[in-house]
Amino acid sequence: MASPLPPPLEFDGNAAFDDSADLAAPDSMSPTPFRRLPHNIEAEKALLGAIFANNRAYEMVSDYLAPMHFALAQHGRIFEACSKLLERGQIADNITLQRYFEQDESIAEIGGPAYLDEITSSAVTVINAQEYGRIVYDLYLKRELINIGEDLVNRAYKGDVEDTATTQIEIAEQGLYDLATSGTYEGGFLAFKDSILKAIEVAEAAHKREGRLAGVGSGFRDFDRLMGGLHPSDLIILAGRPAMGKTALATNIAYNAAKDYLEANGEEGAVVGFFSLEMSCEQLAARILSEQSNIPSDRMRKGELTNDEFTRLVQASQALHQVPVFIDDTPALTVSALRTRARRLKRQHKLGLIVVDYLQLISGSPGGRSDNRVQEVSEITRGLKTLAKELHVPVIALSQLSRQVENREDKRPQLADLRESGSIEQDADVVTFIYRDEYYLEKAEPKQRADESADKFAQRIANWEERMARVHNIAEVIIAKQRHGPIGTVKLMFDGQFTRFGDLDIQHDDGHQGY
């Protein structure tokens, strides 16, 4: 932040505060030599006097007001002393405060006993105390806005090559957001009656949907049945080992949600913001094209398409032009920059779903310490959860799993396998894992041993092929944690050549699997 307030004023014990006290801040951008920082000394004195007169006044402002919010440091110290005395169950007034400050020999620093008496005479009623508290806090916010503005100007004048204009904008937006969300006096308790009415409204909306999803649909029948859709304000972790299909599943969900939004004119589905820190936007788009055109992505990449296939590819691409998916493939994006861009997309395009691929590639806030990765991941997951609540949209964050999965005989993931699992598991509303038995079975293809007969080896091969047939193109989505519903496992079809997931119809009359 920019320069703090001037040092405390000197008092002779009899002098009163003058509202014209020199709280001036230099302003080189203005033709006026000095402009005073916003402050209201009389309001601060009136509030403190109200607390002296009736300590209940403190309860009306203590949930958002802090010592740092007072323009004069002396008033902040008096407010802090009141807080300490009241927390001990003692009375806070001019007499008890005089003894409090005399004990640490700082009574002169707050203007002496005479000034405490003067504050007592400035008291307002308890009814007005909250209004005066809001005035004090509002003026503090204005002073902080000035500090942010000065800091922004000073940073812009510096010639630091690494401190780009984009970075400065993101830091300024983060500072404004932190200021807007810290200590607001609009919150507080809600009567249980009001909470019940809100719950009834949600239930009524669900009843009118006649069994349709409460959240954004993923496009997968069994998954949506177990989850009830992707709910607003939820942080959903989608984790798995490499090559399990995390990005493919996230891409499929993003496309399905955006397609539903387009076809239902905004009544279903969602506008999707996809933060791809690992793959480029071209690679993600190629995956969706492969899925929709039934053309293998590797053949697209190698240029091995026939004329008919290329025509089909172009037709599929034209059909996808209007699908509301927005991709940001900026590498090493910070969590503050991610939040800034998501808010912007929400304002511009009614963002309804955020996908982050993947969590471990996000950087901490600019200027933060990166020597403790666990703390950094905690900051990231808290930031994503806060973003989900602020924008009232589901946030899907992909995550890697630790290598300890590979050391177990049963390689199905568990919550403990999450990297830095403490913060991820704690902040997430839903934790899901992707597991494909086929991947591990392929790597375990039997090799004939030197002392093994041909018949025995043939039997082992037959057993392996039978197991492979049972799990071929099958993926398991394991819901290991869900705050609002049951846990369980959903089986999906996975077609690797088209990077496509789909519903799995397991039981048919002929005993075969269908898709």
Integer angstrom CA distances of residue 461 from 93, 449, 468: 87, 12, 10
21 falls in which pLDDT band (50, 70, 90)?
Answer: very low
7 falls in which pLDDT band (50, 70, 90)?
Answer: very low
**pLDDT score, position 395:** 93
Count CB-CB contacts under 10 A for residue 319: 12
**pLDDT score, position 356:** 92
Q: Percentage of the chain with pLDDT > 70?
A: 84
Higher pLDDT among residues 351 and 294, named by residue = 351
Domains of the chain: 24-181 (1.10.860.10), 214-432 (3.40.50.300)
**pLDDT score, position 26:** 46
Q: How much is the average pLDDT of 270-297?
A: 83
**pLDDT score, position 420:** 61
The mean pLDDT value of the chain amounts to: 78
Q: How much is the average pLDDT of 116-129?
A: 80
Q: How much is the average pLDDT of 17-39?
A: 56
Higher pLDDT among residues 480 and 422, named by residue = 480
Dihedral over Cα of 113, 116, 122, 124: its sign = negative
- The rounded distance, in Å, linking the Cα atoms of 102 and 108 is 9
Which range among 26-35, 98-107, 270-279 shows the weakest confidence by mean pLDDT?
26-35
pLDDT at 124 over 80: no
33 falls in which pLDDT band (50, 70, 90)?
Answer: low
Give residue-wise pLDDT tens across range 191-234: 777 778 777 776 676 666 655 667 788 888 888 888 888 888 88
**pLDDT score, position 190:** 64
Higher pLDDT among residues 366 and 303, named by residue = 303
419 falls in which pLDDT band (50, 70, 90)?
Answer: low
**pLDDT score, position 370:** 54
Integer angstrom CA distances of residue 184 from 63, 66, 226: 9, 11, 37
Give strand pairing partners of 325. Answer: 272
Give residue-wise pLDDT tens across range 134-174: 889 889 989 988 888 888 888 888 877 777 887 788 788 77
- The rounded distance, in Å, linking the Cα atoms of 218 and 269 is 8
- The rounded distance, in Å, linking the Cα atoms of 324 and 262 is 7
Furthest CA-CA distance within the chain: 107
**pLDDT score, position 34:** 66
**pLDDT score, position 441:** 79
- In degrees and rounded to multiples of 5, residue 24 shows phi and psi of -70, 145
Q: Which of 246, 254, 432 is nearest to 357 (CA)?
A: 246
pLDDT at 4 over 50: no
Give residue-wise pLDDT tens across range 345-383: 888 888 889 999 878 888 766 555 555 667 778 888 888
**pLDDT score, position 396:** 92
95 falls in which pLDDT band (50, 70, 90)?
Answer: confident
Q: How much is the average pLDDT of 232-245?
A: 87
**pLDDT score, position 509:** 41
- What is the pairing mode between strands 325-328 and 351-357? unpaired
